Homo-oligomer: A and B are copies of this chain.
Amino acid sequence: MSERIVLEEKFAGFSDHWNPRVVAELNGQQVRLAKIHGAFDWHSHEHEDELFFVHRGEFHMEFRDRRVLLRAGDMLVVPRGMEHRPVAESECEIMLFEPVGTVNTGAVVSERTRETLQWI
Interface of A toward B, CB cutoff 8 Å: 1-8, 23-29, 31, 48-51, 55, 61, 63, 68-70, 73-79, 82, 84, 97-99
Q: Report the minimum CB–CB distance from A56 to chain B (whole Å).
A: 10
**A78–B27 CB distance below 8 A:** no
Q: How many copies of the chain does the oligomer comprise?
A: 2
**A99–B51 CB distance below 8 A:** no
Closest B residue by C-beta to A79: B1
Q: Report the minimum CB–CB distance from A78 to chain B (whole Å).
A: 6
Q: With A24-B51, A29-B27 given, is the CB distance from A4 to B79 under 8 Å?
A: no
**B4–A76 CB distance below 8 A:** yes
**B26–A51 CB distance below 8 A:** yes
Closest 10 CB pairs of A and B: A26-B49, A5-B75, A7-B73, A1-B79, A26-B77, A27-B49, A24-B77, A4-B68, A6-B74, A27-B99
